[in-house]
């Protein structure tokens, strides 16, 4: 980094077409919510964006000699993608054949998670998982560990090496799972508390209290989870809800005294700001209203929902203007079938179609960036391009495949260009990923290396 005459650090910068959001395009006119700068400059120092605007305006403001990486007109610079529901421990079993949710957990998920008692194994998976995050332009994630605390340590240790903003937590399960994955209310409290004290707020790491879902926790353990959430309100709480119809009926049988699935969590103090409920396909209107009033969020996981035959989440219903529920996106690896947020957006579009509604490409891009940041209460830190925001950035190659290159000849505007990327793009579309201003992934460098 170049120094100026006053020995202050001077920004590095990147240049190219830029898209970002200043407001919610589900609530506001698109012209008032989205900023598209055909030739912009973003400058940053110490992991924070210091300048953003048209190149002709920003370039004269930068000190002489500052390095500007020019990505050109065939690229698009955006805030990094945010994934609010994913299981890193399921990375080795992505694409496991057959079964719906409950059988799939017993056949594939639980045996795999057993391996994470070995921290070295957990670390090896965490490294692959995080590299796939970078390769797909995902700069912030909310992650399920396993019941073993060392699985969380391994994930956080590797993420911290990358200075990556990440939330995660130890899974809490004290029933309806194999004995080798069960803890108790007491051990789940003690181990979670120790992990919170060790990790929450350390560099860019955030903790998520993690009861897997109501069927695998007793009332006593859910009470413990609620006590922890009350004790540490700046943490997250992540779990699953109303993913599968058989699961919904199971919860009714396990908690007959409660009014419904959400009421189980609400009764134990788990409905509040920073609560993230995965899936939410089969929620009632009363449950959606309660999520809205409590400030809780739903994470839409379309590739997983389709893969397991769970259904198709109605995002427009969840976000309807009279009682909008905060809504984010999740890849949900490994029932989710792709690390790609572009693929996830493509499937979200199809889910919207099945619900007789349209998901505009700009609204989709908002969901993958500022929208999910809003769902996670970190839209003051990430999800947008603006001075003062953390410099987590993805650069899209808008002509990443021959077919996309051909199709892009016929687009009329930025919205159509976004839709082409969403429907046809994958990891090949990610040209570069910056984490806190540091280039952590570059397709150009990989391609140059391949041709040496």
Q: How far is CA 242 from CA 38, 121, 300, 301, 345, in A?
A: 42, 32, 12, 12, 21
CA dihedral 228, 231, 236, 241 (to 10 degrees): 40
**For 81-375, which CATH superfamily applies?**
Metal-dependent hydrolases (3.20.20.140)
193 DSSP assignment: H
How many residues would you count in the chain? 452
Taking alpha carbons only, the member of 303, 282, 305, 276 closest to residue 375 is 276
Please check whether residue 450 is in contact with residue 404, taking contact to mean a CB–CB distance below 8 angstroms: no
pLDDT score, position 451: 36
Taking alpha carbons only, the member of 387, 388, 410, 396 closest to residue 443 is 396
pLDDT score, position 5: 34
**Average pLDDT, stretch 243-262?**
97
Taking alpha carbons only, the member of 436, 440, 441, 367 closest to residue 204 is 436
Q: Mean pLDDT lowest for which of 8-17, 161-170, 404-413, 429-438?
A: 8-17
3-state secondary structure of 239: strand
337: Cβ contacts below 8 Å, ≥ 6 apart: 94, 95, 303, 304, 307, 343
Residue 311 in tokens? 């259904």
**Average pLDDT, stretch 400-416?**
98
Confidence of residue 444 (pLDDT cuts 50, 70, 90): confident
The pTM (predicted TM-score) of the whole model is 0.96
63 DSSP assignment: P
Class for the domain spanning 12-78+386-450:
mainly beta
Please check whether residue 15 is in contact with residue 55, taking contact to mean a CB–CB distance below 8 angstroms: yes
Mean pLDDT of the chain: 95
Give yes or no for a cis peptide into 323 (omega within 30° of 0).
Answer: no
**Burial level of 212, CB count in 10 A (0-12/13-18/19+)?**
buried
59 vs 406: CA distance, rounded Å? 33
Please check whether residue 87 is in contact with residue 332, taking contact to mean a CB–CB distance below 8 angstroms: yes
1 vs 56: CA distance, rounded Å? 22
CB atoms within 10 A of CB 156: 27
pLDDT score, position 73: 96
Pairing outcome for strands 430-435 and 393-397: antiparallel
| Residue boundaries of the structural domains of the chain | 12-78+386-450, 81-375
8: Cβ contacts below 8 Å, ≥ 6 apart: none
Q: For the chain, what percentages of helix, strand and coil (3-state, to nearest 5) are there? A: 45, 25, 35
pLDDT score, position 449: 60
Check for a shared fold between 12-78+386-450 and 81-375. no
> Facing residues of 65 across strands?
none
Confidence of residue 8 (pLDDT cuts 50, 70, 90): very low
Q: Does the structure show a pLDDT above 70 at 9?
A: no
Q: Mean pLDDT lowest for which of 98-107, 193-202, 239-248, 251-260?
A: 98-107
60 vs 51: CA distance, rounded Å? 11
pLDDT score, position 445: 82
pLDDT score, position 71: 98
Confidence of residue 452 (pLDDT cuts 50, 70, 90): very low
* pLDDT tens track for 10-39: 479 999 999 999 999 999 999 999 999 999
Q: What percent of the chain is predicted at pLDDT more than 90?
A: 94
């Amino acid at each position: 980094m170049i120094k100026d005459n006053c020995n202050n650090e001077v920004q590095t910068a990147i240049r190219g077409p830029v898209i970002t959001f200043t407001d919610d395009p589900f609530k506001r006119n698109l012209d008032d919510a989205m900023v598209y700068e055909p030739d912009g400059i973003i400058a940053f120092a110490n992991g924070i964006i210091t300048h953003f605007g048209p190149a002709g305006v920003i370039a004269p403001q930068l000190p002489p000699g500052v390095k500007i990486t020019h990505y050109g007109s065939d690229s698009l610079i955006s805030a990094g993608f945010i994934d609010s529901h994913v299981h890193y421990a399921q990375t080795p079993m992505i694409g496991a054949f057959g079964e719906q949710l409950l059988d799939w957990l017993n056949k594939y998920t639980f045996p795999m998670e057993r391996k994470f008692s070995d921290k070295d194994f957990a670390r090896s998976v965490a490294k692959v998982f995080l590299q796939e995050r970078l390769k797909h332009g995902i700069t912030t994630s909310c992650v399920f560990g396993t019941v073993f605390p060392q699985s969380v340590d391994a994930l956080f240790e590797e993420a911290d090496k990358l200075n990556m903003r990440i939330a995660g937590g130890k899974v809490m399960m004290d029933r309806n799972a194999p004995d080798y994955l069960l803890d108790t209310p007491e051990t789940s409290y003690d181990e979670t508390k120790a992990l919170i004290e060790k990790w929450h707020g350390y560099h860019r790491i955030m903790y998520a209290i993690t009861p897997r879902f109501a069927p695998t926790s007793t009332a006593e353990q859910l009470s413990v989870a609620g006590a922890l959430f009350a004790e540490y309100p700046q943490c997250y709480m992540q779990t699953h809800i109303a993913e599968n119809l058989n699961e919904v009926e199971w919860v009714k049988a396990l908690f007959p005294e409660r009014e419904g699935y959400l009421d189980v969590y609400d009764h134990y103090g788990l409905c509040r700001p920073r609560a993230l409920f995965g899936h939410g396909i089969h929620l009632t209107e009363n449950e959606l209203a309660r999520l809205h009033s409590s400030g809780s969020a739903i994470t839409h996981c379309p590739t997983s929902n389709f893969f397991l035959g769970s259904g198709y989440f109605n995002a427009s219903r969840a976000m309807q203007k009279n009682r909008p529920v905060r809504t984010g996106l999740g890849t949900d690896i490994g029932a989710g079938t792709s690390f790609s947020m572009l693929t996830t957006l493509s499937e979200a579009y199809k889910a919207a179609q099945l619900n007789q509604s349209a998901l505009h490409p700009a609204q989709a891009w908002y969901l993958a960036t500022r929208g999910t940041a809003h769902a996670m209460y970190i839209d003051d830190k990430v999800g947008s391009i603006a001075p003062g925001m953390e410099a987590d950035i993805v650069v899209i190659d808008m002509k990443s495949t021959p077919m996309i290159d051909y199709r892009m000849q016929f687009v009329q505007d930025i919205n159509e260009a976004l839709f082409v990327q969403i429907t046809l793009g994958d990891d090949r579309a990610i040209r570069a990923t910056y984490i806190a201003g540091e280039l952590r992934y570059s397709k150009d460098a990989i391609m140059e290396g391949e041709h040496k």
